[in-house]
Amino acid sequence: MSEILGPDEDPPIVLSERAIIAVKEFLASDEVEGSGLRVFVQGGGCAGFQYGLNFSEPTDVDLEFIQDGLRIFVDPISLMHLEGTTIDYVMGLSGTGFKFNNPYSTRTCGCGSSFS
């Protein structure tokens, strides 16, 4: 069973209001299955690690927390790299999408989804 943060505990990852709205819109579409947002990192990308988001159910090892009614899951390995990260949803001339503001990344690349 996943570990669930209590309402008085600070979440390790925070989504901006725009990010929450965007995720809820995706969840409401007929094409999306799953009950929550999974935030993760994986090896790859031009800077060493790559951020990832998808929709899934929690696993037995996940940390689970709720922000504005949105269930968010993160595995322990990803959590080591994501603690303190804020996820925003940006719209601009260079593109639209989720932006990770990770205070512990030492290097990022131009694509915005890769870090070290």
pLDDT value of residue 3: 79
Q: What's the order of all strands across the beta sheet hosting 95-101?
A: 13-15, 85-92, 95-101
Whole domain around residue 54: which residue ranges? 3-115
Which of 19, 20, 55 has the alpha carbon at shortest distance from 35? 55
Reported as a single tens digit per residue, the pLDDT across 78-104 is 999 999 999 999 988 777 899 999 888
Q: How many other C-beta atoms are found inside a 10 Å radius of the C-beta of residue 90?
A: 15
Distance, CA of 42 to CA of 9 (rounded, Å): 26
Element (H, E) at 13: strand 13-15
Tell me the average pLDDT of the chain. Answer: 84
What is the number of structural domains in the chain? 1
* Residue 78, φ and ψ in degrees, nearest 5: -65, -35
How far apart are alpha carbons 12 and 16 in whole angstroms? 13
Tell which wins on pLDDT, 35 or 68.
68
User: Helix or strand or coil: residue 39?
Assistant: strand
The separation between CA 115 and the C-alpha centre of its own chain, rounded to angstroms, equals: 14
Residue 20 maps to which CATH number? 2.60.300.12
CA gap 91, 82 in Å, rounded:
23
In the structure, what pLDDT confidence band is assigned to residue 108 with cuts at 50, 70 and 90?
low
Q: Is the pTM of this model over 0.85?
A: no
**Banded pLDDT at 111 (limits 50, 70, 90):** very low
